[in-house]
Amino acid sequence: MILPPIITVSQLYKRYPSSATDALKGIDLEVGHGEIFGLLGPNAAGKTTFFSILCGLVKPTSGTVYIDGKSIENDMEAIKKKMGVVPQDIALYPTLSGRDNLLFFGRMYGLKPSELKPRVDALLDLFGFDENRNQAVNKYSGGMKRRINLLGGMLHEPNILLLDEPTVGVDVQSRRAMMEHLKDWNENKESTIIYTSHHMEQAQQFCHKVAIVDEGIIVAKGKPNELIKEHDCNSLEEVFIKLTGKKLRD
């Protein structure tokens, strides 16, 4: 059975009130059920703005977004229940332990204590936490904070996961482990993952499809291997540089 796209975005524009230019300039995008979709772009391309609109934190200036058949304009509360968000800036309570942060998020999502505690401990085991799960987050390394940040968005087992640069500042070992877990999660829970990263090699391996966005415009979209072929390149990073150039942003 062919399902309709889980996310359909049409002609999405965003201009922040304080800004003279549009952060998003007419984004059209479809994401399929169960896809791992990479949104790739230089700094200031509009990736976080796009995510913020999808999760209801920022209102678009114009355009439409449908998620699982529901409009973000009218049905955001229903959409939020199915969505997990892992923000670019780590959002944890520094004086609480990693475990207590997750218990707190779980209660916010309305999970019952009897199901929440075993779920939190199983995820912490899976992501390599030992007794350190009970230490305050302000004693954690950057990589540990990133892992807890990621688990915070996965706890309620959403069927859409938005990951905004989930592996920034994480070492190779942890990064590989995180991506492997996310791949398993995508396969086992049949969940859709949309993810941003500046790590092109990782995106090439991890994503079924990608969109390259620059200055608020999608400049290419498709399967990584097809884009590489189409642009006569050897890697996604080469395609990225070919399409977005070498000018520094911001």
Binding residues for ligand ATP, rule: CB under 6 A, are 16, 18-19, 23, 41, 43-49, 88
204 binding Mg ion? (CB under 5 A):
no
For 169, phi then psi, to 5°, come to 70, 20
Site for Mg ion (CB under 5 A): which residue of 36, 37, 48, 175?
Answer: 48
Min separation Cβ 215 and ligand ATP, Å: 8
Task: Please tell me what DSSP assigns to residue 245.
Answer: -
H/E element, 49: helix 47-54
**Cβ at position 48, least distance to Mg ion in Å:** 3
**Contact assessment for residue 191 and residue 185, using Cβ atoms and an 8 Å cutoff:** yes
- Whichever of 47 and 156 has its CB closer to Mg ion, that residue is 47
Q: For Mg ion, what does the binding mask look like between residues 80 and 109, x meaning CB under 5 A?
A: --------x---------------------
Residue 49 binding Mg ion, by CB under 5 A: no
Closest C-alpha among 238, 62, 224, 90 to residue 169: 90
Residue with token string 């062919």: 2
Select the span of 45-53, 78-86, 183-191, 238-246 touching Mg ion (CB under 5 A).
45-53
- Closest CB 198 distance from Mg ion, rounded Å: 10
Phi (first) and psi of residue 196, to 5 degrees: -115, 150
135 binding partner (options Mg ion, ligand ATP, none; Cβ < 5 to 8 Å by kind): none
C-alpha count within 13 angstroms, C-beta hemisphere, residue 103:
12
Question: Amino acid letter at 142?
Answer: G
Which residues lie near Mg ion (CB under 5 A)? 47-48, 88
